[in-house]
Structure formats: C-alpha cells, structure tokens
Amino acid sequence: MSGATHRGSTLPTLAGALLAGLIFGIGLILAGMSNPAKVLAFLDLAGDWDPSLALVMVSGIAVTRVGLLIGRHTGRSASGEPFHASSHRPADRRLLAGSALFGLGWGLAGFCPGPAVVAVGAGYLPALPLAAGMLIGLWVRRPAGGAL
C-alpha cells in the first residue's frame, strides 16, 4: 500500500504530514495557543501583557529557518520530495490588506488558523465560526482549478 497516491503524494508522505500536524497541534496546546484568553493577553500591550507567546513565535521562526536552510541546501524536503521555497515579493496592497484582516481576526477571536483548528478538534465550539470563516476564505481564494 506504500505506493498508493493522493494527488501525487505517496502514503508515507501523507503519513509524515499527518504526524507533523499532530506534533504541531500538541505543541500549540502545550504552549497555550489554543487558549484564546492567553492569546488575547499577549496582544494586550496596554494592559496585563503576557509575553510568553513571543517565545513560542521565536521558537517557531527558528525551527522554520533551519528547515528552510536545509531544504535549500539539499533541494529536498524531509519526505524526499523536491523542495520549493517561496520567492520574495515586495509588499503590495493585497498583502497589506490580508495582513490587516488576519490581525483583526486574530485580535477579535484570540485565534490564528492553527490554534483555531486545534480548538475545533478539541471540541471548543466558540472557535467553530472562525474555522468556518477560514474555510470560506480558502474557498474564495483557491487557485484556478484547485480544490479546497
């Protein structure tokens, strides 16, 4: 069954992606990012600010940087697939508008996409409207001919 494919991906590649997603989700839970009160306390710079999530972000950036360096050097991902790093593009109106919308949603809901999915999976129903909104946004902006 290891030769089974789904849109060009092998079963081991999909299993690796599932494992990475589970590890990421567990990390989000342990870091408190699935708790909207903790996230909102991090965003409350004028009040009782909780800087602990800054360490989570810096750690994530560091791990990603190492992965990017390895991928660029070897030309392959950890699963052996060809590695394609995104190209650098200058900030434009669409990027700035999307960033502002993301920040507004994060501040209002206390969730960014990863923790929202974790919260829904954990049965936290108040995160459901945010997850639904994310799916609608992904569907609206899907690539031509692409599936969600």
**Residue-level pLDDT at 87:** 73
Q: What is the Cα–Cα distance from 73 to 146, expressed in whole angstroms?
A: 30
Closest CA to 112 of 121, 122, 101, 97: 101
Contact partners, residue 29, CB within 8 Å, separation at least 6: 118, 122
**Residue-level pLDDT at 141:** 77
Q: Mean per-residue pLDDT for 51-73?
A: 89
In this predicted structure, the answer to whether residue 6 has a pLDDT above a threshold of 70 is: no
**Residue-level pLDDT at 8:** 56
In this predicted structure, the answer to whether residue 148 has a pLDDT above a threshold of 80 is: no
pTM value is 0.64
In this predicted structure, the answer to whether residue 1 has a pLDDT above a threshold of 60 is: no
Residue 141 corresponds to which amino acid?
R
Q: What is the Cα–Cα distance from 39 to 27, expressed in whole angstroms?
A: 15
Tell me the pLDDT of the chain averaged across its residues: 82
- Please report, for residues 37, 46, 96, 142, the alpha-carbon distance to residue 92 in angstroms, rounded to integers and kept in the order given: 32, 30, 6, 19
Q: Which of 105-114, 125-134, 135-144 is most confident?
A: 125-134
